[in-house]
Amino acid sequence: MPEYKAPLRDMQFAFYEVLQAEQHYQRIGAEDASRDMVDAILGEGSKFAEEVLSPLNRVGDEQGCKFEDGQVTTPAGFKQAYKQFVEGGWPSLAGETEYGGQGLPESLATVLNEMVSTANWSWGMYPGLSHGAKLTLSKYGSEEQKQTYLSKLTSGEWTGTMCLTEAQCGTDLGLLKTKAEPNADGSFRISGSKIFISAGDHDMTENIVHIVLARLPDAPGGTRGISLFIVPKMSVEDGSTNNVSCGSIEHKMGIHGNATAVLNFDEATGYLIGPENGGLKCMFTFMNFARLGTAMQGVASAELSFQGALAYAQDRLAMRSLAGPKFPEKPADPIIVHPDVRRMLLTQKCIAEGGRVFIYFCAMQGDILHSQASEEEKAEAEALMNVLTPIAKAFLTETGYEAANYGMQIFGGHGYIAEWGMEQIVRDARISMLYEGTTGIQALDLLGRKVLSNRGESLRFVTRIMHRFCRDNETKGMQEFIKPLRKLYKEWGGFTTKLGLKAMRKPEEVGGASVDYLMYSGYVTLAYFWAAIANTAMLALQDNTISKQEKAYYESKIKTARFYYKRILPRTRSHKEIMFSGVKNLMDLDADHFRM
């Protein structure tokens, strides 16, 4: 297993230089998030990720969680690491001060989350899901509910979950059957079974707060009849059991260190969050946060696999360079001299470093939504998040999985052997394209709900940013990035209109084009961020006083951006051809004739 080293220089570059976090925090009134404080937090967070969590990554994979006599036990060291995490005050970083939080911006917590996620994804899911529960309670919970649950979730004394899926329904939540019957005291009796609940049961905290979707007795059918409830594992009044039991935990391809539970609610006491039959809207606060968190898994997989593959490629000797021996004193050259190995390494680097800026940018839009910014600024941030969230979730997990596989490939046969840890990254990463909505679901959400439903108005907020960037940075050195980016963002808008017209005649065209539309959108969006990275590096190189090491750092950014534009961005051409090939080639074959 690669020993994770937090890429602090690259995090600081993305955060401070490309996205100008200091100015961002001043604009939103987050004066406490000074450069010195942020750097101190990142430094201490990196130590925790590297020294505590990273060594447990393989332990979690090999031992997994145990389920005996209805009790879940996490792998050795997980519980102790969580205790250390809580004692360090990490869960409260972005929490509301009135409930014991430190009141720092969500984007800062996102940077910490990247380190935790890359060092040990399975472990990071336990506190990670609590964060979504906090946001949901903060937005929709009553003051009494906030006082009861938020302080414990903020401190990390309790963790939280999201309980949506049932055996008969995954993404189609209109089919869920869990019932909520009212009690005389205003509480509800929750009965039903939920499956695939990440961190659904464990031994790390004394209580777990489940956020549960269920139906009231007189609720209408479909998604219009879903309500949202708080259901603690243990009663908050006296600590007694609350008729919530773990029926089993899943045996999975990866993320063995996280308990994916089947939870049974047998007239468990629950409390309504938000309005009756308005649960799905309330839950979207949780789901949207979870989707960005899942996008982070794509970046984390790419980063960890890249770290392992780079070290191996620099050390492993095999054959000679086609241009002649690069290390004649050795029996063979390191494999990093070979063009195809560099192709794979650079692809990993593009996804990890470009994806990092992408996610940090999204997190900063979240900061704006929770700040004292103007209503106009908040409306723009919300529109950007509506479009970018499904792109980030699906595109970064798809490409992150590709990057993880390249790590295995660079190791050759050794990559297939468990002791190196590269195959674990692949197994852990594979779930990211499935949970919180598959790639196909994210694609339908993007094209159908987020773009075509308002005739591309939300998309124009994204392309407007690209337009302003191209207009303001049209210097001679940037033309190799500006020219193709300008062509693509204009094309993106034109494609959207064209697909909308096709869908008006035949709605199935949306389903036929959506995944390729999303991937096309992802490559264009990442092109914008790589152009911003290159521009930042070019401006930094104008300072003649920078060190030789820093000069090489900035030059590497420009060269990586160039690789992305020449070797990765052309993938948009094939996605264009496919999305406009029409739905007929998908639907022509009768369902009964797939196997004749």
Q: What is the pLDDT of residues 356-409, one digit of tens each?
A: 999 999 999 999 998 989 999 999 999 999 999 999 999 999 999 999 999 999
Nearest C-alpha neighbor of 507 from the set 589, 576, 448: 448
3-state secondary structure (DSSP) of residue 234: strand
Catalytic annotation, pick one of 376, 436, 457, 509 = 436
Number of structural domains (the chain) is: 3
Q: Are residues 120 and 171 in the same domain?
A: no
CATH at residue 201: 2.40.110.20
Q: Are residues 139 and 39 in the same domain?
A: yes
Cα(497)–Cα(481) distance, integer angstroms: 25
Question: Does the annotation count 114 as an active-site position?
Answer: no
Contact 191, 267 (CB under 8 A): yes
Residue 255 lies in a domain: yes
Domain-ending residue, one of 155, 174, 189: 155
Residue 1 lies in a domain: no
CA dihedral 247, 140, 149, 67 (to 10 degrees): 20
pLDDT of residue 172: 87
Q: Are residues 474 and 493 in the same domain?
A: yes
Strands 158-163 and 207-214, how do they pair? parallel
CA–centroid distance for 515 within its chain: 18
For residue 565, give the amino acid letter.
Y
User: For each successive 10 residues of the chain (596 residues), what is the average pLDDT?
Assistant: 95 98 95 93 97 98 97 98 98 95 96 97 96 91 95 97 93 92 97 97 97 96 94 95 97 98 98 95 80 96 98 98 96 98 98 98 94 93 95 98 98 97 98 95 96 94 98 93 98 96 94 98 98 98 97 98 98 98 95 86
Domain-ending residue, one of 277, 312, 327: 277
What is the residue range of 578's domain? Answer: 438-583
For residue 50, give the amino acid letter.
E
Residue 233 lies in a domain: yes
Q: Are residues 198 and 221 in the same domain?
A: yes
Domain-ending residue, one of 249, 277, 305: 277
Residue 336 lies in a domain: no
Contact 293, 132 (CB under 8 A): yes
Q: Are residues 121 and 167 in the same domain?
A: no
Residue 57 lies in a domain: yes
Nearest C-alpha neighbor of 56 from the set 31, 28, 81, 27: 81
Residue 305 lies in a domain: no
Cα(126)–Cα(434) distance, integer angstroms: 18
Cα(385)–Cα(372) distance, integer angstroms: 18
CB atoms within 10 A of CB 150: 24
Q: Are residues 449 and 569 in the same domain?
A: yes
Q: Are residues 252 and 267 in the same domain?
A: yes
pLDDT of residue 111: 96
pLDDT of residue 287: 78
Residue 345 lies in a domain: no
Please classify residue 15 by burial: count the beta carbons closer than 10 Å to its beta carbon, then call 0-12 exposed, 13-18 middle and 19+ buried. Answer: buried
